[in-house]
Structure 1
Amino acid sequence: MKKLTPVFMISVIISLAFILWGVINPENLEAVTGEIQGFITDQFGWFYLLAATGFLAFVIFLVFSPYGRIKLGKQDEEPDYNYITWFSFLFTAGMGIGLVFWGVSEPMYHFYEPAPSENIESQSIQSAGYALRYAFFHWGLHPWAIYSVVALTLAYFKFRKGTAGVVSAAFEPLLGDRVNGVIGTTINVIVVFATVFGVATSLGFGTAQIGGGISNLFGIDNTTGLQVIIIIVVTFLYMLSSQTGLDVGIRILSKTNIYLAIILMLFLLFSGPTNFIMNSFTQTLGGYAQSLVRMSFQLDTFNMESTWVEDWTIFYWAWWIAWAPFVGTFIARVSRGRTIREFIIGVIAVPTIFGALWFSVFGGTAIHLEYIQGIDVMGVMEEFGMETALFFVLQQYNFGWIMSFVAVLLIASFFITSADSATFVLGMQTTNGSMNPANSVKFVWGIIQSATAAVLLLAGGLEALQTASIIAAFPFAIIMIFMIISLMKALRRETIPERKKYKK
């Protein structure tokens, strides 16, 4: 614990204060954070849309620019991890548990309540197509571009310039030595705040889905008591994993996640309506590409009664920005030796295509069950909660019970890996960017994360804490804009490597 910084102490105090607030008066916490978040989305929704789309445009520019040949490290350095391991890290840290949770639920919601701007009838064949398109949109290029801006900037300054692995260090070209003062501490505290509460709320919701799976499989009521037991068990497992370091615990679990996810997806792809799924994937991918610009700027300005964009798109963009410090720091840590072009294509293209296929398989199957076969998937979600939707869909097919059990293992594995990754990132950010934070520091943050999820599950304050985390997205979006300016200032000073010449 000798390498602790003021960021650690300030962040711990803020975390404990919010936990106490959520326990003592969860209704007040929800009301206050909800009002602040409502004001931000109402008044600055345009800012989130422009920022997220601007981040995507920026990374696309880098791919096609000469800067793409610059390596994140010394120019002769090779990557630390092979592609399979690297992609498993990206998938696990980025949104793996979210895909499992929302794979069925989000397309079903859009199927029943399509975006008003599309002017299509609910529960129609048109709304089925648009349901998948918006799932692609919310989980595709934009969120991964948000992650890549933070990850690329941190990796560049850490591995090529040798700065500390904290977010504030990326501002050295703009602020000079002032990054070591109050401004730098403030930036890093915002990073830790967003990470702690973003991950804690995801752990809480992940716990609810594990409980839903256990309830579905074994007939046990998904009570708060069961969920607390799940948190205790999973906390023990991820704390055990966190003590083994990045190259053992997280690496093994990340690959396990990928294998389990592929097994689950292939099962439903070939057990379910295979032709319908692949047709949906192909058509929706084309529709997504065709409508990308229009959806990126859609605000429903002239429909004063609609809050659809605020409830979905703006919420998601804020949520991804709130997660960007955590995911970006972790992706940066495992990306040494990649060129900027290779990094961006890997971080954006691969997860986007995998996510699109995932939603086509799970969301497409759910829509087929509902619309074609007349099985009431939405009714189950409304009666038993959306955390049960995945298990209900799986059990419509042979070996569904076994696959539901695999799904519970996958969610638990994602849960453990996300928490493990978060303790690693929090350790880095509160020890001045140490590449291998002390186990004692990771232990402290692990306990804080789990305690936050557990006490707020009991107090009913998880959604309020999620809102509090998203509030941190607003200042961090501004921080990201200045990160881009700082990165470009540094890149302009680079000597661009020559193109590789291939023998004819």
Structure 2
Amino acid sequence: MTIHKEGDTTENPPLPDPTATVLSAEERQPTDPWVFGIAAGLVVAFIVWGAVSVESLSNVSSAVLSGVMNAGGWAFVLVASGFVVFTLWLAFSNYGKIPLGRDDEEPEFRTVSWVAMMFSAGMGIGLMFYGVSEPLSHFTNPPPGTVPPGSPEALDVAMATTLFHWTLHPWAIYAVVGLAIAYSTFRRGRRSLISSAFAPLLGERRTQGAFGRAVDILAIFATLFGSAASLGLGALQIGAGLQANGWGEAPLALLIAIIAVLTIAFVASAVSGVAKGIQWLSNINMVLAAILAVFVFVAGPTILILNLIPTAIGDYFGNMAQMAARTAATGGDATAEWLSGWTVFYWAWWISWTPFVGMFIARISRGRTIKQFVVGVLLIPSLVSLIWFAIFGGAAINLQRSGTDLASQSLEAQLFGLLHSMPLGGLLSVVAMLLVAIFFVSGADAASVVTGTLSQRGSIEPSRPVVIFWGVVMGAIAAIMLAIGAAQAGAEEEDAALTGIRDITIISAAPFAIVMVALCVALAKDLHHDPLMRRDRRAVAAVEQAVEHGTKTYGDEFVVAVKPHPDAAADGSAPETEKKKDDEA
């Protein structure tokens, strides 16, 4: 039966056949001189500023960040929860069956490797750094107006608040960008760029002009400085591990040497390709992390940890609405200050990482359906985070309650303080330092590939010289900021230098909250006009038309028969007239 075109789609332009080979996504593109040149210039300018006056850099960025937090904290709270709702809606609606590639395409990576790469790139160093310190911080200093510090109720609040910051919300933020880029690249055949995902709203030409370049430059800038801040934290934690093992203080020269060695390692990994480099390192990290977690679980308060897991899940979901709605209006200045240091800061920090993590997740997710993508990206890392924080946070809080003042130690030293309270503490500390190092390598590896992709017009496999350049720059930023702090005013100023870079990252990436809202609109429009969705709508219309015709003609005594179109080809493919209507629709 021939069906008329749908009236609401007649003005849409023809779309490429999703079963065709996506050549534009596979071919290596030349370096964009505007994107590469401006991004490199901005990076050098900020490094020079920090070298000349780290105090000025830190003071200016902190002041601007404070203004952003005070004026826009409510927006971060609102959009973060909105992204969770949006991604879950996509997964469990009809859109969930749309593949991120051709209709018959299989996933590029095995599920285990996919999860390992996603997890390592997303927040590996963060979990090592905050796995002990955040639950312990919320236990000794709960959110204002909630429960007394150190009380049994504080344990519940500490775990629920930690999970709120590290599970569904951050991964939904990553999923929005990752899904938009993966669908645009592997399903629609556009360039692997954030700007290309705006084609449904702006058209292909505008996304390749000044607007698209501005988006991609900002993405490179956020990725480099955001990664450098995390790499700096990783170097500090390795230094704290050396000190905890009695190998002396970690001088600046040693910290820079650590960064230099690991920079060489992640650049070598990056130029070897995703399948060889990041996948190999990520799989090793998953094994080491599992060994460390199992040992702490067995040697630590095992029963408390087991009890903590279901309790934390219940408290998390039971208090999610309250935690998601907490703003400065609910608790005055004390709550506003707490939010700026925790929830609002975290949402801004995750958003600042979306250009990097979102693009990398998109890169490794080809062939999966939208439902598989969302469920995998949201639930699997969230489950791992739950177990990780229950083990390390539960063990740390138990140690604190037993009389050891673990909370008085610095954030980077608290993990090693916990490990040294257990048998084989020295060996565990070495494993932890190795984990941080590999997370350092795998995260920076992925970041250098993503910045290369942004510099080369969306090339999935950017050229080695570009990847090497951005990798070296990334390591240099972390090393230089550590050196600046030590040269200016000692170790205390060293942390201020990293804080200044982190603040700049958030400031430069704050507009991505607006960009991501627009991405949601563009993605929804793109998915509505997906060929698979069109076929579904035409199928429903055809059945409704046949039933209506049969009812009018024969009453209830009729059947709907399916037969080839008279103009169909011998192989059973659709006739040219129907293909033309499919394109025009």
TM-score under structure 1 length normalisation: 0.96
Q: How many residues align?
A: 493
| Pairing partner for 1:472 from 503, 508, 511 | 508
1:184-212 Cα deviation digits (max 9, x unpaired):
11111111111000001111111000111
Shift of 1:293: 1.6
Q: Which amino acid aligns with 1:471?
A: I
Check if 1:456 corresponds to 2:481.
yes
* Structure 1 counterpart of 2:163: 136
1:490 aligns with 2:559: no
Residue pairs, 1:64-75, within 5 angstroms: 64-75=92-103
Aligned runs of 1:353-372 on 2, under 5 Å?
353-371=383-401
CA distance in 1, matches of 2:145, 2:372: 36
Within the candidate set 252, 260, 277, 1:249 is matched to 277
Q: Please tell me whether residue 264 in structure 1 is matched to residue 292 in structure 2.
A: yes
Q: 2:83 touches 2:173 (CA, 8 Å); kept in 1?
A: yes
Aligned partners of 2:228, 2:177: CA distance in 1, in Å? 21
| Correspondence for 1:199 | 227
Aligned to 1:174: 201
Q: Output the amino acid matched with 2:441.
A: I
Aligned residue identity for 1:81: F
Off by >2 Å, runs of 4+ in structure 1:
302-305, 495-499
CA distance in 2, matches of 1:275, 1:459: 46
1:53 to 77, 81, 89: 81
Asked if structure 2 preserves the Cα contact closer than 8 Å seen for 1:117 and 1:300, the reply is no
Q: CA deviation at 1:243?
A: 2.0
Q: In 2 relative to 1, CA 149–457 (structure 1 residues): closer, same or farther, beyond 3 Å? A: same
TM-superposed deviation, 1:2: 8.0
Looking at structure 1, the residues matched to 29 and 160 of structure 2 have their Cα atoms a distance apart, in angstroms, of 50
Q: Which residue of 1 aligns with 2:14?
A: none
Percent of residue pairs identical: 40
Pair 1:374-2:403 in alignment: yes
Match of 2:104 among 76, 87, 94: 76
Contact 2:29 2:457 in 1 (8 A): no
Aligned twin of 2:179: 152
What are the Cα deviations for residues 105-157 of structure 1, in whole angstroms up to 9, with x where unaligned?
11111111100142x11111111221111111100100000000000000000
Paired residue type of 2:375:
I
Contact preservation (8 Å) 1:216, 1:391: yes
Superposition pairs for residues 104-503 of structure 1, below 5 Å? Answer: 104-118=132-146, 120-176=147-203, 177-306=205-334, 307-371=337-401, 373-379=402-408, 381=409, 385-460=410-485, 461-494=497-530, 495-496=532-533
CA contact (8 A) 1:48 1:318 kept: yes
* Distance in 1 between residues matched to 2:29 and 2:370, nearest whole Å: 35
Whether the 8 Å CA contact 2:285–2:438 is kept in 1: the answer is: yes
What does the per-residue CA deviation read over 1:47-99, in whole Å, with 9 as the maximum and x for residues that have no partner?
A: 00111011111001112100001000011100001110000011011101100
Q: Give SS of 2:329's match.
A: coil
The amino acid that maps onto 1:136 is L
Assess if the C-alpha contact under 8 Å between 2:83 and 2:176 holds in 1. yes
Question: Residue 549 of structure 2 corresponds to which residue in structure 1?
Answer: none
Question: Contact 2:29 / 2:459 at 8 angstroms: preserved in 1?
Answer: no
What is the CA–CA distance in structure 2 between the aligned matches of 1:444 and 1:96, rounded to whole Å? 24
> Distance in 2 between the 1:90 and 1:205 partners?
20
| Superposition CA RMSD, Å | 1.3
CA deviation string 1:245-270 (max 9, x = no partner): 11111110010111111111111011
Deviates more, 1:251-260 or 1:109-118: 109-118
Q: Which amino acid in structure 2 is aligned with residue 377 of structure 1?
A: L
The 1:217–1:173 alpha-carbon spacing in structure 2 relative to 1, beyond 3 Å, is same
Distance across 2 between alignment mates of 1:117 and 1:190:
38
Separation in 2, partners of 1:229, 1:403? 23
Equivalent position amino acid for 1:85 in 2: S
Secondary structure of the corresponding residue to residue 121 of structure 1? coil
The structure, 1 or 2, with the larger RCO (C-alpha pairs under 8 Å, 6+ apart) is: 1
Q: Distance in 1 between matches of 2:513 and 2:96?
A: 24
Deviation at 1:242, TM superposition (A): 1.6
CA distance in 1, matches of 2:361, 2:501: 25
Residues 443-486 of structure 1: CA distance to partner in whole angstroms, max 9, x if unpaired? 10011101111111111221101000011232111011111111
| Kept in 2: contact 1:107–1:363 (CA 8 A) | yes
Q: What is the distance in 1 between the residues matched to 2:139 and 2:330?
A: 23
- Conservation of the 8 A alpha-carbon contact between 1:281 and 1:360: yes
Opposite residue 147 of structure 1, the aligned amino acid is: Y
Q: Which amino acid aligns with 1:466?
A: R
Q: Residues 146, 302 of structure 1: CA spacing in aligned structure 2 closer, same or farther, 3 A cutoff?
A: closer
Paired with 1:498 and 1:288, the residues of 2 have a C-alpha distance of 38
Letter in 2 for 1:357: I
Q: State the Cα deviation string for residues 359-387 of structure 1 (Å, max 9, x = none).
A: 1100110000111x2111112x1xxx211
Do the aligned residues in 2 keep the contact of 1:276 with 1:364 (CA within 8 Å)?
yes
Question: Per-residue displacement from partner, 1:334-369 (whole Å, max 9, x unpaired)?
Answer: 000100001000000010111011011001100001
Structure 1: stretches of 5+ with no match in the other structure: 500-504
Paired residues of 2:35 and 2:216 also in contact (CA < 8 A):
yes
Instruction: Determine if contact 1:136/1:288 at 8 Å carries over to the other structure.
Output: yes
Structure 2 counterpart SS, 1:134: helix
Q: Shift of the alpha carbon at 1:413? A: 0.5
Per mean C-alpha deviation after superposition, the further-off stretch among 439-448 and 121-130 is: 121-130
Q: Which structure has the greater CA radius of gyration?
A: 2
Secondary structure, in 3 states, of the residue corresponding to 1:294? Answer: helix
Q: Which residue of 1 aligns with 2:41?
A: 13
How far off is 1:302 after superposition?
A: 4.1
Displacement of 1:498: 6.6
Seen in structure 2, the aligned counterparts of structure 1 residues 243 and 218 have a Cα distance that, compared at 3 Å, is farther
Helix, strand or coil at the partner of 1:62? helix
Q: Which moved more, 1:335-344 or 1:126-135?
A: 126-135
- Tell me the distance in 2 between the aligned counterparts of 1:145 and 1:305: 29
CA change 1:90–1:250 in 2 (3 A) is same
TM-score, normalised with respect to structure 2: 0.83
Q: Is the 8 A contact 1:208 1:387 kept in 2?
A: yes
Give 1:304 deviation, angstroms.
Answer: 2.5
